[in-house]
Amino acid sequence: MAEEKKISMAVIRRLPRYFRYLSDLMKLDIKRISSKELSERMQITASQIRQDLNCFGGFGQQGYGYNVEYLYDEISKILGTDRRFSCIIVGAGNMGNALANYENFSKRGFDIVGIFDVSPDKVGTVINNIKVLHMDMLPEFVKTHHVDIAMLTVPNSKVNEVAIQVTELGIKGIWNFSPTDLRLGDDVIVENVHLSDSLMVLGYRLKESMEGRKTS
């Protein structure tokens, strides 16, 4: 079974991309695809694709290609897209609002079950049918609702404190939107969305391109 095998994080980080492309192919009713064609669509080398997909038994056949549905199902299984995760958002500012309204998350198995803030302007307002609660209510909330993931969209100066607070309540997954790299217990999984880092890389590549150097 593909799931039994240890797959490197570098490959795992590319899987959601394969998942998106394969899902698009299925919508187009495409049954088979060669690594060359997939390579052109995804702008990844064909050899990288073969290497990645071989990790979980997606062996293409010469002149025959990959079975799109099989690969899609295998990747779904590995990524665990059949699971549902209960999530809370801490920080009901613009970014918190954006996340609460993102329809894609629920389709991917991530349900927003609560939104928390400390500001009197925010507490009591309703975002996408969810009433924003005060952070003081979080311990009680976690007792009565299972929560897998806390999405932290609080100011940078508060993020450490909030991360400690939510993990002490037993929440094991943190989606961190602050520029701070959090240091938490070994049993806590943190994924970061460092927007400034991404923007700085864009700035670098743009500068290189304007000066006539190519990056990719």
Closer residue to a copy of itself (CB): 61 or 128: 128
CB of 62 to a copy of itself, least distance (A): 27
- Is 39 near a copy of itself (CB under 8 A)? no
- Is 35 near a copy of itself (CB under 8 A)? no
Residue with tokens 């209960």: 86
Among 2, 5, 16, 136, binds a copy of itself (CB under 8 A): 16
- Which two tokens mark 15? 């899987």
- Is 163 near a copy of itself (CB under 8 A)? no
CB of 73 to a copy of itself, least distance (A): 15
Q: Concatenated DSSP letters for 107-175?
A: HTTEEEEEEEE--TTTTT-EETTEEEEEGGGHHHHHHHS---EEEE-S-GGGHHHHHHHHHHTT--EEE
Find the helix or strand (DSSP H, E) in which 103 lies.
helix 103-107
Q: What Å distances lie between residue 20 and 38, 72, 108, 145, CA to CA?
A: 12, 9, 11, 31
- Is 199 near a copy of itself (CB under 8 A)? yes
Number of residues that bind a copy of itself (CB under 8 A): 60
Helix or strand or coil: residue 162?
Answer: helix
- Is 110 near a copy of itself (CB under 8 A)? yes
Helix or strand or coil: residue 204?
Answer: helix
Q: Which residues are near a copy of itself by CB under 8 A?
A: 9, 12-13, 15-17, 19-20, 42-43, 78-81, 83, 85, 93-95, 97-99, 101-102, 104-105, 108-110, 148-149, 172-173, 175, 179, 181, 183, 187, 189, 191-207, 209-210, 215-216
